[in-house]
Amino acid sequence: MNRKLLDPFAPEYPEAIEACLDDEYAVKCAFSHHGSLLATARSDGRCYIWDMDTLNVMRKLEHSDAALTGISWSRSGRYILTFDEAGLCILWDLKTGEQRARAEFDSAIVSARVHPRNSLQFIVCPAREAPCLVTVDGGVDRIRIVPEGVDLGTKAAAGTCCCFGKKGRHVFVGTSKGSVFAVHVESRSVVCSVKLSPSAVNTIARNPRGTDIVTNSTDRILRVCDVVLPDPAGGPIDVEPSIRVVNKITDSVNRVSWLQAVFSSSGDYIVAAVDHKAEHNMYVWDKATSSLVKMLTGPNELLEDCAVHPLRPIYASISTFGIIYLWTRLPQQNWNAFAPGFRELEENIDYVEPEDEFDRKVTNSDGVLVDCAELRAGRESRNSGGEEEGDVVIDVTEDDPLFSDSDSDSEDEGFVLPVVVEFDPDVLPMAVPSTEESVPKDDDGRAMDIDQGYVVEEP
């Protein structure tokens, strides 16, 4: 699909369910950075990677026997992080299909994210331990977000959710006491913090097009926070670090609880999934005005998780039965933009064929015999104004700004998931002998063909 030919004023949110993917044990889902792949975490300890073009499973990762609690993609799409309720985190290299790193903890993992610039570093939030920053071949560093007197190996020092900033220089950690901490990644020290509410912070997500974040708390309020942090690489340096709540979003009528809250692809909307046992609904809120823009209503099934496509108006949601619903907006086809003079018909019309339409030569009113092909060519040249259409040169070398990121310094930005062919001996045909000694021959020494296991003599 050519994104440049789409309507730039079309809404960024979908309208209805277009496709369903049957994944019996899926509980979590996440799109890759470019949106070409969709990963699902399953309750049986496996991770499936789906291709968004063919809607087929391209890779199956065997994590462990414990149920997965989440997944996280690297920026390049080459690495993916899986973590479970037994405290095991595995960083997979999809290019080789092998495990790149493993980290084990004493409690379940409630949240984990891969660094947006360093694919070999990730943050982990165990349920009964302090948040840890894991670096491949570099060890595990605990992050202290509590006073010095609190033991880091207890639940009092644990975090409930986490996410990196846009550049990866800071990480945001939410706690069960309603606070959000901004931690500097290099120094592992707390830069600033804010008390949002007395209730726990369940989820936290950053804006892909800005520096603000959105939090989801147990008090059923979504809070959009403006983050101001010093940025040595081109940003403000002499500023006071702060996290300030600029907007609050809540359903004052139904007072529903929220399961997940994330930003849209442009960062102008907040997508919130409803936590209800008999509803599969998602609300789309305007970030600036806190007004409800769209309510997506699905089947009467419990909603487990949702994800937003990074480029297109596509949402993915998982029901309690393991069905993945893909919500999208079908683009309106405007054929007049491609063929000037093309007329769209609202209903079929009867076409009356002229008597001389397919004649090669006809006689005009002057009695002169003329060629119909020349008449049609002259008529078309007059309609086009005498302009000749030249060859169209298609540029396939330059990066499309819609799919590339000028700020990215990753070496694997152009990574494409290789196809792995699974060997199944039950469906392969019988092998034909390759050596001369094994080829069957008749009495005269002539070779005979083998067709589906039967020896057939050559004529």
Predicted pLDDT of residue 450: 44
Q: How many C-beta neighbours within 10 Å does residue 156 have?
A: 15
Average pLDDT of the segment spanning 251-274: 92
Q: What percent of the chain has pLDDT over 90?
A: 54
pLDDT band at 166 (very low <50, low <70, confident <90, very high): confident
Q: b/e string for 159-179 if b means 16 or more Cβ within 10 A?
A: bbbbbbbbbbbbbbbbbeebb
Confidence of residue 397 (pLDDT cuts 50, 70, 90): low
- The 10s digit of each residue's pLDDT in 23-34 is 889 999 999 998
Q: Residues 414-420: what's their mean pLDDT?
A: 78
Which pLDDT does position 77 carry in this prediction?
92
Which of the pair, 197 or 403, is modelled with greater confidence?
Answer: 197
Average pLDDT of the segment spanning 355-365: 67
pLDDT of residue 445 exceeding 70, the answer is no
The answer, yes or no, to whether residue 431 has pLDDT greater than 80, is: no
Whether the per-residue pLDDT at 400 is higher than 60: the answer is no
Please compute the mean of the pLDDT values over residues 254-271 and round it to a whole number. Answer: 92
33-53 pLDDT per residue, tens: 989 999 999 999 999 999 999
- Is the pLDDT at 85 greater than 70? The verdict is yes
pLDDT higher at 169 or 457: 169
Confidence category of residue 351, pLDDT binned at 50, 70, 90: confident
Q: Is 70 exposed, middle or buried (0-12, 13-18, 19+ CB in 10 A)?
A: buried
Q: Is the pLDDT at 111 greater than 80, yes or no?
A: yes
How confident is the model over 285-318, as pLDDT tens digits?
Answer: 999 899 999 999 999 999 999 999 998 899 999 9
Model confidence at 254: pLDDT above 50: yes
Instruction: Supply the DSSP symbol for 5.
Output: G
Question: What pLDDT score was predicted for residue 4?
Answer: 56
Burial string for 34-43 (b: 16+ CB within 10 Å, else e) reads bbbbbbbbbb
Residue 247 has a CB neighbour count (10 Å cut-off) of 18
Q: Is the pLDDT reported for residue 129 higher than 70?
A: yes
On the question of pLDDT at 360 being above 50, the answer is yes
pLDDT at 79: 96
- Which pLDDT score is estimated for 353? 77
Contact 256, 250 (CB under 8 A): no
Residue 99 pairs in a beta bridge with 92
Which of these ranges, 127-136, 161-170, 303-312, 407-416, has the smallest mean pLDDT? Answer: 407-416
- Checking if the pLDDT of 121 tops 90, the result is yes
- For the residues 414-433, what does the mean pLDDT come to? 65
Dihedral of CA 57/59/62/66: which sign? negative
Backbone dihedral angles phi then psi of residue 53, each to the nearest 5 degrees? -85, -45
Q: What is the mean pLDDT of the chain?
A: 83
146-159 pLDDT per residue, tens: 888 788 888 888 99
Within 340-428, where are the H helices? 372-383
Query: What local confidence, expressed as pLDDT, does residue 24 receive?
Result: 85
